[in-house]
Amino acid sequence: MIELAAPHPAIQTVTLLPNPQFGDGESETCEVATKRAMDGTLYTYVKSKAGRRRLTLPLNLSRMKALELRAFIQSYFASRVRLTDHLDQVWVGHFTCNPFEFSTPKRAGGWPGGEMQTIQLEFQGVKQ
């Protein structure tokens, strides 16, 4: 389960989301640039991004949950958000996907609203 709470640190709203689908990701945001001179001399430069990491969270949501997430995003997309992932790791950072695209790939019998919606959240933050 994923918990989104915002604005951090004066939390006002918390929303719970299901675990991400298979294929979620966690990556570095820092960069390393390498330069090679004519005589082979190597130069490297880094961009650390202050320990920020990028989380990619593909989610399948019911119609009702999707509307709840949409309302949360609209309220707090510019705010710092605390994210507790399905591994119970706590992150503080910002959503970086823009726009937030919800898609409705199929009907979902028995789900609230009768439809399944998907969204891939991208989040950059620092692990607490």
Partner 1 sequence: MARNLSNDALNKITERLGNEPVTIIEVDWIDGDAPLSYADRTVGSIPGRILEVGSLDNVINVSGNADSQQLAVTLDDSDGSIKTILDSHDVHQRDVRVFQYFDGLDLSDKFLLFRGKISSPVVWSEGDRTVSLDIISQIEDAEIGFSPEEGQFDSIPEDLIGRPWPMCFGTCVHVEGVPLNEPAAGTLASGVGIIDFLLPHRMFAINRILAYINEQIGDWLDANGFWSVSEAAASGDEELKKQLEGFMANKDRFEQKKSEVLNVLTDQARTIVANFGTGDGWSTYSVTAQFTTFRVFGGEEFPRGTITLDINGAKFTGSFLGETDEFSVQSSEHPRRGEPLVTPRADGTNFPGGPFGFNRFVPNGNVTGDTAGYFFADSGAQVRVATVEPQRFVASITPGTVKRVKAFIQSAGRRFLIDVPEDFYTVTTEQYGSVTATMVTLNDALSKRTDLSWDDQVYITFQGTVGPNTVDVMEYLIQQNTDFDTDATSFNSVRARLANYPSHFALTDRKQILQALEEIAFQARCATVLKDNTFHLRYLPAEPTPADTITESDIEVGTFELQHTTTEDLVTKLIARWRATGAQEEDNQVILRHNVRKYGTKEREFDFYIYNKLDMVLKSATFWLIRYSNTWKKARFSTPLHKLNLETFDAVTLDFNSPYVADSDVLALVEKADYNSDSRSIDFECWTPVKAGQMEPYDFAYPADVSQELRFPTPVEEEEEFDGGTGIGRDATGALPIRYDLRRGVRVEYDGNPDPFGFEAAKRSTSDRGDPKPSDAGDQDPGKPVVGEAVTYDERLPGIDTPTFENTGFYQIAEPTLIDIATTKIIDSRDPGGDSNSITTFSTFFAEISGSRLKMATDATVVDADDRDVQGTFDFKYDADTEQFGAGTAFLQDD
Q: Which residues bind partner 1 (CB under 8 A)?
A: 33, 35-50, 78, 94, 98
Q: Token pair 């995003």 is at which residue?
A: 73
Instruction: Kindly state the DSSP code that residue 20 receives in the 8-state scheme.
Output: P
Q: Given the complex with partner 1, which of 65 and 94 has the nearer CB atom?
A: 94
Q: Is the peptide bond before 105 cis (omega within 30 degrees of 0)?
A: no
Nearest approach in angstroms of CB 106 to partner 1 is 31
Q: Which is nearer to partner 1, 22 or 45 (CB)?
A: 45
Q: Report in angstroms the alpha-carbon separations of 96 from 54, 82, 108, 121.
A: 9, 14, 29, 8
Report whether 104 contacts 116 (CB < 8 A).
Answer: yes
The nearer residue to partner 1, 1 or 32, going by C-beta atoms, is: 32
- Measured between alpha carbons, how far is residue 77 from residues 23, 49, 57, 119 in Å? 24, 20, 16, 15
Q: Provide the minimum distance between the beta carbon of 109 and partner 1 in the complex, in angstroms, as a whole number.
A: 37
The CB-of-43 to partner 1 minimum distance in angstroms stands at 4
Residues 3 and 14: beta-carbon distance below 8 Å = yes
Instruction: Please report how close the Cβ of residue 87 comes to partner 1 at its closest, in angstroms.
Output: 26
- Residue with smaller CB distance to partner 1, 74 or 98: 98
